[in-house]
Amino acid sequence: MEKLYRISCLVLAAVSAVALAVTLYVGATGASPVAATAGLIVVIICLASVALLTAAGALFIPSVGSLIHRIGHYVMHFGAVVLIVGLVVTELATTSNARVYTDEYGAETTVKGDLFRVGRDYDSVLVGDKNFVRFGAWFSLDGVQYEQYEDGTPKRYEATVVLKDKQSGLILEEKTLTVNHPQYIDGYKIYLMNVTSDSDGAVLYIKNNPAEYVVIAGVAALITGTFLSCFTGLSSWKKKDGEKSKEARDAGRASRKKGGDAV
């Protein structure tokens, strides 16, 4: 039983490592967001399977406790390394249409995104200092919706963006953006940051982070590993340290001969 458990974990770890490598490669080259997403899904499924196996192992195989603890330990530290690598690449390689403005006192303000007007067709967007994102078609803001609560605070922003054929003007692709739900167009992730009060424009933040999936995979591994590592072995505490703790407390109390106000 334990052997089967170990082999399953090793197979899952191997599949997870291969999927992560594919995700890293595809994500870094920006070749295919679909392949990167698929790779990430495989990594997450593998990690979830390891978590399920862990739970089952902890329940039914007594000797598995320390093994799970060790595995969790490795997964957690491996996740931390992947996360740090992902964040470094994110910092170095992300391109976006955010701009930093310096005022007369030297204070820097970062403004994310550009204002796009409804009904206008855009050929390109300036991303970074020099690079233009040239969409293969007209990029256009088709509509903006803005809902608010009775006291005037925002309730919902929504914007529809379309890609139109340059020759015929036919809509090739249509995406609805809301806050918290960015969309991918031509490998770029597009965020809805704000809308104008007259609902004829929206501020869109356009970003390409080649290490996005690496960061998410690192986060998933780190969280899974932390739970595996920290939550296993608590049962052994019940039998050993728990008794020790109680004894130690009682011994401590007796030696000081105080008592009375103990919790």
Partner 1 sequence: MTDVIARILLGLSALFYGASFLCALKKFSKSVPRRLKIAFPAAAFVLNGTVFVLNYVGNVRTRGASFIPFVSVWQCLVFLALCCVLVGLTVRKLCRIEGYDAYFFFASAVVTVGTCVMKSTSVNYPPALQSVFFIPHILCYMFSYSLAAVGALIALRALVKKEDHDPVLSVIARLLFPFMTAGLFFGAVWADQVWGEFWAWDVKECWSLSAWLNYLTALHLYRRPGLKKYARIFMITGAALVIVTFFFSNVLKVPSMHSY
Does residue 70 touch partner 1 according to CB under 8 A? no
90 binds partner 1 (CB under 8 A): yes
What does the alpha-carbon distance between residue 102 and residue 230 come to, in Å, rounded to a whole number?
A: 46
Residue 88 has φ and ψ, to the nearest 5°, of -65, -45
Among 78, 135, 188, 205, binds partner 1 (CB under 8 A): 205
Of 164 and 207, nearer to partner 1 (C-beta) is 207
Instruction: Work out which of 30, 189, 196, 199 binds partner 1, going by CB under 8 A.
Output: 189
Number of Cβ atoms within 10 Å of the Cβ of 15:
15
Which of 153, 167, 168, 197 touches partner 1 (CB under 8 A)?
153
- Binding string to partner 1 for residues 111 to 130, with x set by CB under 8 A, is what? -x------------------
Cα 193 to Cα 158: distance, rounded to the nearest angstrom: 10
Could you please report the per-residue DSSP string of 93-159? Answer: H-EESEEEEE-TTS-EEEEE-EEEEBT-EEEEEEETTTEEEEEEEEEEEEEEEEEE-TTS-EEEEEE
Per-residue DSSP letter, 32: -
**To the nearest whole angstrom, how small is the minimum distance from the Cβ of residue 226 to partner 1?**
4
CB-CB contact of 215 with 90 (8 Å): yes
Contact flags string 164-183 toward partner 1, x per CB under 8 A: --------------xxxxx-
**What's the rounded Cα separation, in Å, for the pair 26 and 192?**
26
Under the binding rule (CB under 8 A), the answer on residue 197 touching partner 1 is: no
Range in contact with partner 1 (rule: CB under 8 A) among 29-37, 122-130, 160-168, 212-220: 212-220
The footprint of partner 1 on residues 217-236 (CB under 8 A) is 219, 222-223, 226-227, 230-231, 234
Based on the shown chain and the rule CB under 8 A, indicate whether residue 78 belongs to the binding site for partner 1: no
Size of the residue set binding partner 1 (CB under 8 A): 49
Tokens describing residue 88: 């470094």
Q: Which residues bind partner 1 (CB under 8 A)?
A: 87, 90, 96, 98, 112, 149, 151, 153-157, 178-182, 189, 191, 193, 205, 207, 212, 215-216, 219, 222-223, 226-227, 230-231, 234, 237-238, 241-242, 244-246, 248-249, 252-253, 256, 260-263
